[in-house]
């Protein structure tokens, strides 16, 4: 979406978006949501402190098979979230080509560690409304491993296509949420977790009105 400002109000218009396979878009959305469940970002506090919270997270992202979670699954998923937040921040915050390359290498390291730990065995599957796509572990794997495998798979796709920079952080001064940029010109600046775009533009409008007055 793009916005046009009329006074303090924002009118949204459709703009062309980058075409990704359904599973890539879904897993990328899941990854961003995972990062944004952190207690430093989520308004209600950390969303992954209980087995119910992890089950709810998996359910809203349409995980196939049984959705059961143990305390160890919760701990492992929280550790996964922290590892990839650190690795992705190194890529997102890069200001030079050398830093970007180092950031990408760090993400690659975490992806490979994740696949090894999950004992990944990629296979094509088809279920529900999903057409053929790749699962890295079987449905009998623990929920933490299934989340981890999907995170690893989507990052593999982004790295191979040169799209790792489609993962970013919200530009609003008071927000640190992560975002996935599906726009063709990589122009997305604000997250989808709140009303950051509108709030930022309204604040800027009011500041201009104050300066002009």
- pLDDT values of the chain reduced to their tens digit, one per residue, 213 residues: 444 333 333 333 444 566 788 889 999 999 999 999 999 998 889 999 999 999 999 999 989 878 999 999 999 999 999 999 999 999 999 999 999 999 999 999 999 999 999 998 888 888 787 788 888 888 788 999 999 999 999 999 999 999 999 999 999 988 989 999 999 888 899 998 878 987 776 666 566 666 666
pLDDT for 10 equals: 36
Asked whether residue 73 is assigned to any structural domain, the reply reads yes
Asked whether residue 212 is assigned to any structural domain, the reply reads no
Asked whether residue 9 is assigned to any structural domain, the reply reads no
Asked whether residue 13 is assigned to any structural domain, the reply reads no
Asked whether residue 103 is assigned to any structural domain, the reply reads yes
Domain count, the chain: 1
In Å, what is the CA distance from 84 to each residue of 21, 75, 108, 120, 162?
Answer: 22, 14, 10, 18, 18
Asked whether residue 15 is assigned to any structural domain, the reply reads no
Closest CA to 143 of 96, 197, 80, 207: 80
- CATH number, residue 42: 1.10.3300.10
Q: DSSP string covering 47-112, please?
A: S-SSHHHHHHHHHHTT--S-----HHHHHHHHHHHHHHHHHHHHHHT--SHHHHHHHHHHHHHHHH
Q: How far apart are CA 178 and CA 169, in angstroms?
A: 4
Asked whether residue 79 is assigned to any structural domain, the reply reads yes
What domain range includes position 108?
A: 20-174
Q: How far apart are CA 78 and CA 54, in angstroms?
A: 10
Asked whether residue 67 is assigned to any structural domain, the reply reads yes
Q: How far apart are CA 78 and CA 89, in angstroms?
A: 16
pLDDT for 1 equals: 42
pLDDT for 207 equals: 62
Token digits of residue 71: 């305390």
Q: How far apart are CA 126 and CA 132, in angstroms?
A: 5
pLDDT for 18 equals: 60
Q: With 0.85 as the threshold, say if the pTM is over it.
A: no
């Amino acid at each position: 979406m793009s916005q046009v400002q009329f006074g303090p109000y924002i009118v949204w218009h459709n703009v062309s978006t980058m075409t990704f396979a359904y599973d890539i878009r879904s897993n990328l959305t899941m990854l961003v949501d995972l990062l944004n469940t952190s207690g430093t970002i989520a308004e209600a506090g950390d969303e992954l402190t209980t087995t119910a919270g992890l089950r709810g997270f998996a359910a809203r992202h349409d995980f196939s098979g049984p959705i059961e979670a143990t305390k160890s699954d919760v701990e492992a998923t929280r550790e996964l979230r922290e590892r990839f937040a650190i690795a992705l921040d190194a890529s997102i915050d890069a200001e030079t080509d050398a830093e970007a390359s180092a950031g990408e290498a760090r993400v690659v390291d975490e992806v490979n560690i994740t696949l090894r730990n999950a004992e990944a065995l990629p296979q094509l599957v088809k279920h529900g409304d999903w057409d053929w796509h790749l699962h890295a572990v079987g449905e009998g794997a623990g929920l933490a491993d299934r989340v981890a495998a999907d995170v690893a798979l989507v990052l593999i796709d982004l790295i191979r296509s040169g799209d790792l920079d489609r993962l970013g952080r919200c530009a609003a001064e008071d927000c640190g949420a992560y975002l996935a940029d599906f726009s063709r010109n990589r122009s997305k600046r604000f997250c989808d977790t709140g009303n950051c775009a509108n709030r930022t533009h309204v604040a800027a409008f009011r500041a201009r009105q104050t300066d002009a007055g």
